[in-house]
Structure 1
Amino acid sequence: MKTTFQYDHYYAYQELTEALKTLVSRHSDILTMESLCKSEKDRDVWAMTLTNRQTGDPLAKPAFYIDANTHAGEVTGSMAALHTLDVLCTNYGEDEALTKLVDTMTFYVIPRISVDGSEVYLTTPYDLRSADRPYLTPVQQPGLVPEDMDQDGVIRMMRIKDKHGAWKICQHNPTLMEKRKPDDREGEFYTVVSEGMVQGEVKGEIQPAPVLWGLDFNRNYPFGWFHESRQAGAGAYPLSNPENKAVVDFVLAHHNIGAVATHHTSGGVILYPPGTRPEKSADPDDMRRLREIAAMATEEMGYPAINIFDHFMTDQENYSSGAFDDWCFQDQGIPAYTLELWNLLERAGCKIDWDRRDAKSEAECLDTLTKVLAWCAENAPDSFEAWTPYQHPQLGLVEIGGLNLKFTEENCPNAFLLQEVEKTTKFCLRYARSLPQLAIDKAEVKWLGEDLAEVTVTVGNEGYLPTYLSQEAKLLKTAKPVKVSLQGQIQSFIAGQAILEIGDLEGYSGANANYRSCEVKTGEHAPLTRTVRWLIQAQKGAEVTITAFQPKAGRAMLKLVL
């Protein structure tokens, strides 16, 4: 895929901002840039709007929304969001299919929500969930705090000899640690913790310190929000984080958004809502559509698609919620997918069973570790450090070693970044094409008298999704009807009004098309088109404009000379 930028490393804030500004300067006719809000560290959360304004107002076209880096460390997502923008801009005017997308649709892209947290993640050894601001306590509490003790730029594992330790060196592979068996009494044993320093007095057993930067932006959205006592990182109240509030305000202000992709890592899985209740509790047609769109993600990305609640949640009583995808679908009725990009385990040849909820056996865990280390040794050799003695200023002689998990497990190594972002863009472009799209299929004028005319118009939906997007939207009463207007040099309306509401239009996903054993068939279904008629007084040669409009399905216009 032709692009302006190279996707061979991860962009920190300044480089990402410069890349966005470069695209705007080169493609100012189709791309604009705005700041949603300022972070605590005075960084802008950028929002990009991509469409051909010569073909219509951005708000008057069906819109596809992408965001990324809700979580600070999931930087593959921001590169994928940038890549999609890059492909659309760079190929505009050269690739017919991509040009048509930009001409007929609007793309909204927020490449990085957690701008402060991601900067810490990319420019320091530290890892964090969302933002580098204290949460729950103003200062770090006692315990072991992760720190890059050996100054190699990575916080790895640290093992300490301890006769009470739960770990021992694996007898089959000394690189690995394995748990002690119930009868293990003789030999050397270890406590294994994060590389780091103990905050406070060192006494007794080493315990991890409570996380200082514990905010989780994807627990702060207003649907299904729970208090911190139930859900770690939830924030003081829904949308208490300015970044979360800015995202919600943006979506609500752009009523044409009809499809959402929110980029995360990792796991290599496509998640679709609902995430707070079983799939069987949702409308069957909604779920069918979500599965059919997700099947395109599997085709392009190679990742399975699963329902969040039924297959992704390991605890269906104390499930995680307050997430963006659930707010989109269960509060606004907008189809939304969380794309969990990159899967180290799959690359290493490990089998992943999303329906298996019981813990893996120790043998399975060791097999996974063995395969992961072998893959990293071949494909990302700089990511691994063998156990190396280190004289710790508090703990004495320890050993430090292990993987750089930030760029092996949580994100792909640089060499694999282009592959990951390209397949994400391929799916997103196909997903965008599923949006509803109004069209005026037919218009006729029949003169019934010298100044009396009958105007007949058929309006259709050319998209896969219905104009109402989902039955969920109907239940929430967020779905709006299609309106058709007739305006211009008209003396009076004898029958019909200037603006008529014609209800909903199904997309071709609602055509009740089914395979049978020896044939295919289209059954009875709700209308994909509707015909309206006006009886008007006007002069021959008068000019009129027919307009069909619906917020999610855009605007179609036709000018007629009577």
Structure 2
Amino acid sequence: MAYDFDRFLRYDELTAWLRDLVAAHPDLLALESYGTSHEGRDLWLVTATDTSTGSHDTKPAHWVDASIHAIELSGTVAACHLLQHLVEGHASGEAAVVEALRTRTFYVVPRVNPDGAEWVLADRPRHRRSSTRAWPWADAHEFPGAHVEDVDGDGRILQMRIPDPDGAWRPHPDDERLLVPVPLDAPADDAPRYRLLTESRVVDHDGFTVPTPRPPEGLDLNRNFPAGWATKVTGSGDHPLSEPEIHALVRAIAARPNVCGYNAFHTSGGVLLRPSSTTADAELPPDDVWAYTELGRRGTELTGYPVHSVYEDFTWDRSDTMSGAADDWAYEHLGVFGWTTELWDVIAAATDHRSPTKIWYLGPTDDDALAVLRWCDEHAPEGHVDWYPFDHPDLGPVELGGWADVGVWVNPPADRLKAEVAPHAAFAVAHALASPCLAVRRARAVALGGRSWRVELGVANTGWLPTEVSARARKADMVRPLLAEATGDGVTVIGGPARQTLGQLDGRAALRFTGGHDGTPDRALVTWLVEADPGTEVHLAAWHPRAGRAEATVVLEA
């Protein structure tokens, strides 16, 4: 199936595209289902590595997933583009991609939440942030008030304005199509005022009030992870991992202990967000804050997106933080550096500056909203719709129009999708190549006389990160140590065990703190005394749950 990353794929199209891509590259890609969604759809996982240099589980890995939130459809485009980037880069000999697939593995989940995406992409869309499961009321009861829906059946969810002398919105003085907040000193003029809602049905309307209850499908799958899970967090679910999509995702990652890095593709904001969501940087291990800064610097160079701590920069009320998110779980429970990429910033596209970090709470400024409107006029006319009258079944005469959020504020217009997501493939490759990675640097046997030999194996961590990945993982003893073993037909190991524990190895990052007096914290040398006949082959192997497996064979020769 042809796909140029210029539209959003329905589930069946996505499945067909993945199957076609994997079938065309069986030496690099494999497709499997790691579980099923609430509505019974397979949850797809693509494994990408050069199988000629080892199976996926013998190499350090980078995990990417996307579109945990239903309307954040660009994430799936970015994940699919990463897969295409890997296979095309390998075919063309792009050095970084070839090396990454030779020495690392990528695990890519293009759509964590297929059910919600199907609702959003339906011919008559239903606006879903996350899961489609009815919660917290299992009978999906709709409480009185506005429930977001494509009321007029035109395939769009727009805004709905109602004339109201007490309304909080008025036309922008420079463009009456745009509604902006009435200022605090509410001018006494003749400008009309409106009450503003997302296009909705209104259940049990009393003729005067319009509540905005949480919809019957009130879950937020990105609050269902075990990291700091709490009932006070909106949409967190019945308990950690209560939702099949998140239970399956966590089990899939935990079953792959070679995962060394994590990235979730979301929208929007045009930023690279990092943990913690609940803790100040001053309370995190300083080595990890430094490592996040260095990784983020590379991410900014490649994508143009700035880096922000969720707690430090994006939290409105630090006494009431949002926990239960995937990147926090990856860092807190696995000790790997997790990221949330918020794709697309329409304000940055329309102006010379980026969205403020508190835009999720305050919305855009009047000037920024006007700039986006004028940008839409030129680049995405479908992004803002002129107001038109509609006889609402519950409210009577209203006007529909305004922002078509999904295709301009939340996701880029179709003709900008590919350019927006493309740089993030390079960051995924760079992050993967920073992971710890074992390599054999010495393998030899020294004759001691008769049938006795000293066999040596020297291994090195050739990656930037240490074998544990983070200081948090080291301090909490989250990662099992490096092991080495000597085996062979007719080989007897004497004077010690055949399998030895070698601890953990630093990566290149640690050498920044040695003042140029490095030593060899990234290396380990293990020796065995063996008895065997001359000409015998001794197989040497070293392996680490995160840094992969490295092997060598020596022939016993006098």
Which interval holds the TM-score relative to the shorter structure?
A: over 0.9
Superposed CA offset, 1:443-465 (max 9, x none): 23222212222222221011111
Q: Residue 553 of structure 2 aligns with which residue? A: 559
Superposed CA offset, 1:475-521 (max 9, x none): 3322121111111145433444211111111111111268xxxxxx5
CA contact (8 A) 1:332 1:476 kept: no
Count of aligned pairs between the two proteins: 550
CA contact (8 A) 1:167 1:178 kept: yes
Change in 2 beyond 3 A, CA 1:196/1:56: same
Match of 2:75 among 65, 70, 77: 77
> Which shows bigger deviation, 166-175 or 488-497?
488-497
Q: Which amino acid aligns with 1:550?
A: H
Q: Which amino acid aligns with 1:71?
A: H
> Which shows bigger deviation, 171-180 or 406-415?
171-180
Q: Which amino acid aligns with 1:208?
A: T
CA contact (8 A) 1:314 1:357 kept: no
How far is the alpha carbon of 1:553 from its aligned partner? 0.5
> Which shows bigger deviation, 80-89 or 182-191?
182-191
Q: Residue 108 of structure 1 aligns with which residue? A: 107
Superposed CA offset, 1:155-206 (max 9, x none): 2122212222233323332122233454545533221222223211332133
**Is residue 36 from structure 1 mapped to residue 30 from structure 2 by the alignment?**
no
Please give the secondary structure, in 2, of the residue aligned with 1:139: coil
Q: Which amino acid aligns with 1:536?
A: V
Q: Residue 211 of structure 1 aligns with which residue? A: 215
CA contact (8 A) 1:454 1:535 kept: yes
Change in 2 beyond 3 A, CA 1:207/1:461: same
Q: Within 2, Cα distance between the matches of 1:240 and 1:198? A: 30
Q: Within 2, Cα distance between the matches of 1:523 and 1:340? A: 40
Q: Residue 521 of structure 2 aligns with which residue? A: 527
Q: Within 2, Cα distance between the matches of 1:180 and 1:103? A: 58
Structural mapping, 1:10-409, within 5 Å: 10-95=8-93, 97=95, 98-123=97-122, 124-137=124-137, 138-181=140-183, 182=185, 184-187=187-190, 188-227=192-231, 230-349=232-351, 351-352=353-354, 365-409=365-409
Q: Which amino acid aligns with 1:257?
A: V
Q: Within 2, Cα distance between the matches of 1:352 and 1:278? A: 24
Q: Within 2, Cα distance between the matches of 1:84 and 1:170? A: 41
Superposed CA offset, 1:295-319 (max 9, x none): 1110111011112211122221110
Q: Which amino acid aligns with 1:419?
A: A
How far is the alpha carbon of 1:537 from its aligned partner? 2.1
Change in 2 beyond 3 A, CA 1:358/1:39: closer
How far is the alpha carbon of 1:32 from its aligned partner? 1.7
Change in 2 beyond 3 A, CA 1:399/1:501: same
Q: Residue 438 of structure 2 aligns with which residue? A: 438
Q: Which amino acid aligns with 2:34?
A: L
CA contact (8 A) 2:165 2:194 kept: yes
Q: Within 2, Cα distance between the matches of 1:421 and 1:55? A: 29
Change in 2 beyond 3 A, CA 1:492/1:110: same
How far is the alpha carbon of 1:72 from its aligned partner? 0.8
How far is the alpha carbon of 1:113 from its aligned partner? 0.8
Change in 2 beyond 3 A, CA 1:100/1:353: closer
Q: Which amino acid aligns with 2:193?
A: F
Change in 2 beyond 3 A, CA 1:296/1:376: same
Q: Unaligned regions of 5+ residues in structure 2, if any?
A: none
How far is the alpha carbon of 1:242 from its aligned partner? 0.5
Q: Within 2, Cα distance between the matches of 1:342 and 1:285? A: 30
CA contact (8 A) 1:312 1:354 kept: no
Please give the secondary structure, in 2, of the residue aligned with 1:176: strand
Superposed CA offset, 1:45-64 (max 9, x none): 11112223332232111111
Superposed CA offset, 1:208-239 (max 9, x none): 24322211000001110000xx1111001111
Change in 2 beyond 3 A, CA 1:377/1:259: same
Superposed CA offset, 1:127-164 (max 9, x none): 21111222123221111222323433212122212222
Identity rate, percent: 34
Please give the secondary structure, in 1, of the residue aligned with 2:175: coil
Q: Unaligned regions of 5+ residues in structure 1, if any?
A: 515-520
Please give the secondary structure, in 1, of the residue aligned with 2:480: coil
Please give the secondary structure, in 2, of the residue aligned with 1:285: helix
Q: Residue 536 of structure 2 aligns with which residue? A: 542
Q: Which amino acid aligns with 1:203?
A: G
Change in 2 beyond 3 A, CA 1:359/1:92: closer
How far is the alpha carbon of 1:435 from its aligned partner? 1.1
Please give the secondary structure, in 2, of the residue aligned with 1:174: strand
Please give the secondary structure, in 2, of the residue aligned with 1:548: strand
- TM-score scaled to structure 2, two decimals? 0.93
Q: Within 2, Cα distance between the matches of 1:176 and 1:365? A: 12
Q: Within 1, Cα distance between the matches of 2:308 and 2:171? A: 37
Change in 2 beyond 3 A, CA 1:480/1:128: same
Q: Within 2, Cα distance between the matches of 1:371 and 1:272? A: 29
Q: Which amino acid aligns with 1:541?
A: G
Q: Which amino acid aligns with 1:168?
A: R
CA contact (8 A) 1:344 1:372 kept: yes
Q: Residue 518 of structure 1 aligns with which residue? A: none
Please give the secondary structure, in 2, of the residue aligned with 1:448: strand
- TM-score scaled to structure 1, two decimals? 0.93
CA contact (8 A) 1:495 1:535 kept: yes
Structural mapping, 1:492-531, within 5 Å: 492-512=492-512, 522-524=516-518, 527-531=521-525
Q: Residue 424 of structure 1 aligns with which residue? A: 424
How far is the alpha carbon of 1:43 from its aligned partner? 1.2
Q: Within 2, Cα distance between the matches of 1:52 and 1:351? A: 41
Please give the secondary structure, in 2, of the residue aligned with 1:314: coil
> Which shows bigger deviation, 349-358 or 386-395?
349-358
Please give the secondary structure, in 2, of the residue aligned with 1:288: helix
How far is the alpha carbon of 1:534 from its aligned partner? 2.0
> Which shows bigger deviation, 175-184 or 22-31?
175-184
